[in-house]
Amino acid sequence: MTIPTVQLNDGFDIPQLGYGVFKVPPADTERAVTEALEVGYRHIDTAAIYGNEEGVGAAIAKSGIPRRELFITTKLWNDRHEGDEPRKAIGESLDKLGLERVDLYLVHWPTPAKDNYLEAWQKLIELREAGLTRSIGVSNFLVPHLERIVAATGVVPAVDQIELHPAHQQRDVTTWAAAQGVRIEAWGPLGQGKYDLFGIPAVKDTATAHDKSPAQVVLRWHLQKGFIVFPKSVRRERLEENLDVLDFTLSDAEMAAIDAIDPGDGTGRVSAHPDEVE
């Protein structure tokens, strides 16, 4: 099994399928990431706010997998956008992860009410120049936020990591990103289990037709859309199931039926609106 990679706008490759550890309890993280690495994941998505970077680092260290084969992402939390804070924050993350640099560092949320995401982005550019992260990107940025940081710095983020699943496809952001060469990372790719995604006929019936699970069909849809995904589970059988999506292809009609799940009015969002997160 070879996990496909996609190229970022800075020339580096990222595995299109990874493992995300949001809400993986710190005490369980080393075990979960160890199992993820054992079953074949090489891309891990964490964040300072998840409180589990140490567990990710312990699993990496014990795995013996060469560093160049791993792709590790972490994120700058909202209260550390200004001054020396971003440099301190990435230093703390690197210590916990046991790494000299991460592969991708993200501004976690724009927190527009504080009006400091442009400063955070400028700081990430410096962190990249200092070699503390190979690539830089953003998360939960909407088109106005993206346009502002690009206009001010001329540096286009490698990725925008946004809530994206069949009921909430964020077509305004994805359209902008495609035109600008920004890769979309879809968080909550399975809708975080917050609606009956797996019971929708376009998902359920397609799963039956391909002898796959509904989760596998949804993950396959993401991959064929070109999105980067890192579904979360702490169960080994689901870690394996979520990787086992490379041996079938959804037809154009099957893709279109899943595309049609989102009415396009924003009502499918299952988590916070980026303008409301402080």
Shortest CB 114 distance to ligand NAD, Å: 16
Identify the DSSP state of 77.
Answer: -
Whole-number Cα distances in Å, 272 to 111, 117, 243, 263: 12, 18, 28, 19
In this structure, are residues 163 and 187 in contact, taking their beta carbons and an 8 Å threshold? yes
Shortest CB 39 distance to ligand NAD, Å: 13
Report the residue number, 84 or 216, with the smaller CB distance to ligand NAD. 216
The Cβ-side half-sphere exposure at 176, using a 13 Å CA radius, reads 17
Residue 257 in tokens: 């039926």
Q: Is 176 helix (H, G, I), strand (E, B) or coil?
A: helix
Identify the DSSP state of 111.
Answer: -
CA distance 177 to 198: 28
Report the residue number, 43 or 128, with the smaller CB distance to ligand NAD. 43
CA nearest 133: which of 181, 174, 179, 87? Answer: 87
Q: Which residues contact 193 (CB under 8 A, 6 or more apart)?
A: none
Report the residue number, 132 or 190, with the smaller CB distance to ligand NAD. 190
Shortest CB 270 distance to ligand NAD, Å: 9
Q: Which residues bind ligand NAD (CB under 6 A)?
A: 20-22, 45, 108, 139-140, 161, 187-193, 213, 215, 230-233, 238, 241-242
In this structure, are residues 96 and 144 in contact, taking their beta carbons and an 8 Å threshold? no
Report the residue number, 33 or 94, with the smaller CB distance to ligand NAD. 33
Report the residue number, 88 or 235, with the smaller CB distance to ligand NAD. 235
Cβ neighbours of 231 (radius 10 Å): 24
Shortest CB 242 distance to ligand NAD, Å: 5
Report the residue number, 12 or 195, with the smaller CB distance to ligand NAD. 195
Shortest CB 152 distance to ligand NAD, Å: 22
CA distance 94 to 90: 6
Q: Is 195 a catalytic residue?
A: no
Strands (E) across 140-246 are located at 159-163, 183-187, 228-229
Which residue of the chain is nearest ligand NAD when measured via CB?
20
Which helix (H) or strand (E) element contains residue 222? helix 214-225
Active-site residue, from 50, 105, 117, 195: 50
Shortest CB 235 distance to ligand NAD, Å: 7
List, by residue number, the catalytic residues: 50
